């Protein structure tokens, strides 16, 4: 019941969270035109869990492809 309240009844608000939400919406809508939060001086948004997972999977796939091309390459020789 206390999650949403009119501004005059709210104790505080999380300006950082609202800024992040606004920038994310702007990037998703205006990204096709080249908009990025870095153009406004904001840092790149932190990666989500799914993006991190996707990156790890891509590294594994690249390793597998490299090991198929060069069987002498071992997991110990590749540093992430």
Domain range list for the chain: 12-46, 47-80
Mean pLDDT of 19-47: 81
pTM over 0.75: no
* pLDDT value for 77: 56
65/39: higher pLDDT: 65
Angle of CA points 5, 24, 21, to nearest 5°: 15
Helix then strand count (H, E) for the chain reads 2, 0
Residue 14 phi/psi, 5° resolution?
Answer: -95, 90
> In which band, very low, low, confident or very high, does the pLDDT at 72 lie, cut at 50, 70 and 90?
low
> In which band, very low, low, confident or very high, does the pLDDT at 25 lie, cut at 50, 70 and 90?
confident
pLDDT at 47 over 70: no
DSSP 8-state class, residue 45: P
């Amino acid at each position: 019941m206390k999650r949403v309240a009119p501004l005059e009844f709210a104790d505080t608000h999380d300006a950082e969270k609202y800024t992040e939400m606004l920038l994310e919406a702007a990037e998703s809508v205006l990204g096709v035109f080249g908009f990025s939060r870095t153009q406004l001086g904001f840092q790149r948004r932190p990666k989500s869990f799914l993006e991190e997972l996707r990156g790890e999977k891509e590294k594994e796939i690249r390793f597998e492809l490299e090991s198929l091309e060069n069987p002498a390459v071992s997991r110990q020789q590749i540093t992430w």
